[in-house]
Amino acid sequence: MLDKERQVARQNGRILHTKIYILNFSMQKVAEISGIVLDGATFTNDATSDIRRTCSISLIPQDNNVLLSYANNMQNWIDKYIQIFIGIEDNNSEITYTNMGIYIVENPSKTYDAQTNTLTINGIDMMAKLTGLRNGYLEGMEYQIPAFQKDSNGNLIHDANGNEVPSKIRDAMLRSIQLSGIKKYVIESPSPTPTVPNDINISVGGTVYDLVIALRDINANYQAYFDVNGTFRFNQIPSGHNEPIMVNDETWKDVLISYNTSIDFDSVKNYIEVY
């Protein structure tokens, strides 16, 4: 399918379609909306942002029954996820779809009149369930991840040699995301520091995301995010060495829409003297 996606992406002209799966919080598909995309769609993927994936899409829905159920009753979106697929028609009018990610609906809107029938959806990825933007706040108390494991009574656990057992980052990360009901995850055991070096305390009013970033930042080269399939991932940031090439210059040449560059010659120095 990847080759087919590359082929249609390199067409000179494009007709964009979309289908949107409406999912409940158990990731089960409960409905689908399809339609023609208006003025394209915007999808962002910013690895430096708390909310890594965002989107905005406007479409003319083709299924009025689903439209009446979900678009006219906006409160129906509050306990739903959406999974968006963008399709491109090829020369044979066949549509190739690409998964653009699973999102929480943010500020949906519906416009209907004699000339207009559009649905606009803004989406934010599932990290919003951890940051406090859409839930994620801890109960009204301080929360602690201890450096050493404790039993249910708060007593330190010791191994067979009488030594205190350190808390593992992977286990602490798993317990943290489960506070927000996250069930799909892939969590690596980080190195070189796989255990919690000292107690982590989150004050009253903190969020699950505060726990996640505190654990993530123990090892500087690790990241925590949700992928396009709504799976929480905690892993090492790829170095780029020996990584497979997904897009080369031949592809960029065909898909580039605009280009702008400038050079500041005032910043060019012929030589530098050190005193």
**Nearest alpha carbon to residue 82 among 51, 62, 105, 65:** 105
- pLDDT interval class at 112 (50, 70, 90): low
Cβ atoms within 10 A of the Cβ of 191, count?
Answer: 11
Residue 51 corresponds to which amino acid?
I
Question: Mean pLDDT over all residues of the chain?
Answer: 86
**Nearest alpha carbon to residue 186 among 241, 224, 131, 147:** 224
The 8 Å CB, 24+ separation contacts for 201-206 are: 201/142, 201/143, 201/144, 202/138, 202/142, 202/143, 202/144, 203/142, 204/140, 204/141, 204/142, 205/137, 205/138, 205/140, 206/137, 206/138, 206/143
Give 213-228 pLDDT, tens digit per residue: 999 999 989 999 999 9
According to DSSP, the residues that pair with 20 across neighbouring strands are 33, 84
Query: Which of the residue ranges 4-13, 124-133, 160-169 would you say has the lowest mean pLDDT?
Result: 4-13
**Nearest alpha carbon to residue 100 among 86, 120, 82:** 86
pLDDT at 272 exceeding the cut of 60? yes
The 3-class SS string of 170-216 reads: HHHHHHHHHCCCCCCEEECCCCCCCECCCCEEECCCCEHHHHHHHHH
- pLDDT interval class at 66 (50, 70, 90): low
pLDDT at 183 exceeding the cut of 80? yes
- pLDDT interval class at 129 (50, 70, 90): very high
